[in-house]
Structure 1
Amino acid sequence: MATSAQRRQEIGAGVWDDVLRALYGPSEEVLARQRDRWCQALAQFECYFGPGRQVELYTAPGRAELGGNHTDHQHGYGLAAAVDLDLVAVASPNTDRYIRVKSWGFNKLDVIDLSQQDPRSEESTHSASLIRGLAEGFRGLGRPVGGYDAYTVSSVLRGSGLSSSAAFEMAMGAVMNGMYGCGLTPAQVARLGQYAENIYFGKPSGLLDQLTSALGGVVFADFQDPESPRVEKIHTRELLPAGMSLCVTDTRGSHSELTAEFAAIRREMEAVAACFDCQVLGQVDEAAFWAQLSRVRACCGDRACLRAVHFFEENARTLAEHRALRAGRFEEFLRLVRQSGHASFTLCQNVYSSADPRRQSLSVALALSQHILEDSGGAWRMQGGGFAGTIQAFVPANCLERYCAAMDSVFGPGSCHILTLREQGAGLAIG
């Protein structure tokens, strides 16, 4: 390890440009921006934790969900891609058994006393709970857990559906795994991130977000056995054909306060599963569901039934999307993406919150996308948990300038992002 000042000088001088190019692509403009970003993170670490500390730099990507909206937590299929929007963590070990993390954009310093192992009510739904949960996950596997000080800076849009929480979890998990030589695989660290989010943070998330951030690339996962999911990494070069861009638009409506809405989707799906003496919909025979629809409606209500239909359709669609990508049938993949977006409206009903129907930023963004892209061969869908946040669109080159300008005009300058897919998962970038 080198000191923060030494690393800052090296990055500024271009010593680590190959590392940055691998993460963010060959653009000289992007490279200059990332050099400055990483140097600023090192300088801020010094401000909060003092100069002269030996440091390591870790990074974890955000992700774009390509298919499998609300299927992973029901033991179905998932499809997602790591993207170049990421979290960077500057970290240094300490000996006092405390973890201290300061994140750019947040006023609070997270301080975790590692002698206190159980979930703490005052940390619920806050980042400190994720750190504590990860530490206890490592400890539960018999791995060493030690203190560290860290400063993080993230370009993953918070509360947007690009999974800023998974990027944070996987960055903190990578620090613990790498700094103390724990030797866990990326998939194992992803499991601990889900555990921290479910048990300590209090959000009943699935595992796809953490797996994608941990592994990088395009990830297809089969969660039939959630304890040992079957995971396939598809290299990013196999996804986007020439002349097609993946865009996400931040509609500036955060979903960070909508945990109850997300939880209701899982709760209602599992209520339907319980009608068949099952825990999740992935264990339910679809034909039996349709045969007993009247009974299920009486027991669970109509919305729960529609969300169950969404699961069955979306799960089959995600498998078809995976096969289309592997076979190079990109037009078929785009057709399935459009179907997925429609199902979010009509079946899963997670495009806007029913408690506040005046706010429908995702609906507006999807309608505008359809208006621009419908005859172009592109595709558009909501992504992530839903209710607010971002939409994604596959945009042909001849529409790209018009599409980005239209989105920025409605949702604010800089709201539309052209993403680069990222091959590298979470881990140590500069040791």
Structure 2
Amino acid sequence: MGHTEVREGFEELYGAAPDGVWAAPGRVNLIGEYTDFNEGFVMPLALPHTAVAAVARRGDGVLRLHSADIEGPVVELDAASLEPLANAGWAAYPAGVVWALRSAGHAVGGADVHLASTVPTGAGLSSSAALEVVTALALNDLYELGLTRPELARLAQRAENDFVGVPCGVMDQTASACCTEGHALHLDCRDLSIRQVPFDLSAHGLELLVVDTRVKHALGDGAYAERRAGCEEGARLLGVSHLRDVAYGELDAALARLSDERVRRYVRHVVSDDHRVDQVIALLDAGDVRAIGPVLTEGHLSLRDDLRISCDELDLAVSAANAAGAVGARMTGGGFGGSAVVLVESADADTVTKAVTEAFAAVGFTAPRVFPAVASAGARRLS
């Protein structure tokens, strides 16, 4: 939905024009999975798909929220008395941002908000972070808070952690707030320093496809917390604050000190995935873009065998794509469903898409949704 429709939808709902319209994208993570809460490295890029918000300031402390995507009335809340909401659905994301801004001491009052999003939900492409970041950016502008993009990302993360109750790292919000067009974002999750890495695939005759499996397995619900606890246990046993501190060259020696096979697998994944981020950066800097393909596939095997967060649909997307001539592929995001990324020669995009779709049909899986991911701009004001 374009910003004109969102602006018109706002006027229809609230009977006045908004003060402005903002957009924030979803993201796909190229490499570096389950590394963020281990204070390691990640490398997301923003998608062309965005959450768009038309917003107006209110002087009376009333917060009114509406979504064009979900049937239901305007949700009306009092900005000053917001409390973490159980089962509030989509409204918890923008409301959580108001709560996080106010808890951090920023003088944010009420607002009228009308949202619409083209970020696929349930695909692991951070539709929630897009809603949070677009709300944060709009309120930052309207209330002249002067917060930087990384600060907005941290406040949006706090909304998701402490208000919505999802224990995510800061990658999704940082990608939505800070990415730039034509670049992937190299984020150090320890000091939150960022570097924009040129990622213009079309110049190299390449394309990145997203394969949304359209499934979400219930298994994923407790798995994130379990993996996180296992990684923290590994760091404790190895005497480091976070697995980020285990050097890749010392991985074998570190693994030899761990007797618990499960913890050992998690440690091996995290330390090797941080190393894969370094490899991908070095290859992109050298202009050797095709060579990142095998690194992506290697990352998938680590997620499948060591972290064990893949599923049949994701494994099939990767194996069918690679068999059809993809340069490399891996599942991306939290796992147990969601999406895979596939690096292909532009000339092979249709062949690979067809091969994956046919492989899913042959075993009776839900038809996947396949679309190109072009490194796009981060959050911005549209009007």
SS of 1:80's partner is strand
- Say if 1:338 and 1:287 are closer, same or farther in 2 by CA, change over 3 A: closer
TM norm structure 1 = 0.80
- Say if 1:408 and 1:314 are closer, same or farther in 2 by CA, change over 3 A: same
SS of 2:81's partner is coil
2:309 corresponds, among 350, 360, 367, to 350
CA distance in 1, matches of 2:255, 2:197: 38
Which residue is 1:149 aligned to?
112
- Say if 1:233 and 1:192 are closer, same or farther in 2 by CA, change over 3 A: same
Residue correspondence of structure 1 range 303-322 to structure 2 within 5 A = 303-322=262-281
8 Å contact from structure 1 (residues 158, 254) kept in 2? no
Q: Which amino acid aligns with 1:270?
A: E
* Unpaired stretches in structure 2, ≥5 consecutive residues: none
Which residue is 2:124 aligned to?
161
CA distance in 2, matches of 1:243, 1:103: 39
SS of 1:162's partner is coil
Q: What is the aligned-residue RMSD (CA, Å)?
A: 2.4
TM norm structure 2 = 0.89
CA distance in 2, matches of 1:112, 1:268: 39
Provide Cα deviations, 1:286-341, integer angstroms capped at 9, x if missing partner.
677744646633xxx42232111100100111011112112211122222112111
Residue correspondence of structure 1 range 275-424 to structure 2 within 5 A = 275-284=237-246, 290-291=252-253, 293=255, 296-297=258-259, 301-352=260-311, 360-373=312-325, 378-409=327-358, 410=360, 415-422=369-376, 424=377
Residue correspondence of structure 1 range 121-160 to structure 2 within 5 A = 121-123=86-88, 126-160=89-123
- Say if 1:259 and 1:427 are closer, same or farther in 2 by CA, change over 3 A: farther
2:169 corresponds, among 206, 222, 234, to 206
1:170 aligned onto 2:133 = yes
Which residue is 2:143 aligned to?
180
8 Å contact from structure 1 (residues 203, 259) kept in 2? no
8 Å contact from structure 2 (residues 210, 340) kept in 1? yes
Q: Displacement of 1:236 after TM fit?
A: 4.2
CA distance in 2, matches of 1:295, 1:419: 41
CA distance in 1, matches of 2:153, 2:92: 16
Provide Cα deviations, 1:113-157, integer angstroms capped at 9, x if missing partner.
21224423454xx33333343223322443221211122111111
CA distance in 2, matches of 1:111, 1:310: 45
1:234 aligned onto 2:197 = yes
- Say if 1:81 and 1:257 are closer, same or farther in 2 by CA, change over 3 A: same
Which residue is 2:33 aligned to?
69
Provide Cα deviations, 1:39-93, integer angstroms capped at 9, x if missing partner.
332333234323x333411000111101111111100011111121111111122
- Say if 1:329 and 1:235 are closer, same or farther in 2 by CA, change over 3 A: closer
Which residue is 1:11 aligned to?
none
Which residue is 2:178 aligned to?
215
8 Å contact from structure 2 (residues 10, 114) kept in 1? yes
CA distance in 1, matches of 2:66, 2:105: 27
Task: Please identify, of 269-278 and 320-329, the stretch whose mean Cα deviation from structure 2 is larger.
Answer: 269-278
CA distance in 2, matches of 1:112, 1:254: 31
Q: Displacement of 1:370 after TM fit?
A: 2.1
Provide Cα deviations, 1:178-232, integer angstroms capped at 9, x if missing partner.
111111011110011111111112222111111111012221011233xxx2211
Number of matched pairs: 374
Q: Displacement of 1:420 after TM fit?
A: 2.1
CA distance in 2, matches of 1:416, 1:171: 25
CA distance in 2, matches of 1:276, 1:219: 30
Q: Displacement of 1:421 after TM fit?
A: 1.7
Q: Displacement of 1:412 after TM fit?
A: 6.3
SS of 2:94's partner is helix
CA distance in 1, matches of 2:75, 2:242: 35
Which residue is 2:70 aligned to?
106
- Say if 1:340 and 1:145 are closer, same or farther in 2 by CA, change over 3 A: same
Q: Which amino acid aligns with 2:172?
A: D
Which residue is 2:43 aligned to?
79
- Say if 1:230 and 1:421 are closer, same or farther in 2 by CA, change over 3 A: same
* Unpaired stretches in structure 1, ≥5 consecutive residues: 1-33, 353-359
8 Å contact from structure 1 (residues 110, 127) kept in 2? no
SS of 2:169's partner is coil
Which residue is 2:378 aligned to?
425
- Say if 1:363 and 1:104 are closer, same or farther in 2 by CA, change over 3 A: farther
8 Å contact from structure 2 (residues 10, 18) kept in 1? no
Q: Which amino acid aligns with 1:116?
A: S
SS of 1:196's partner is helix
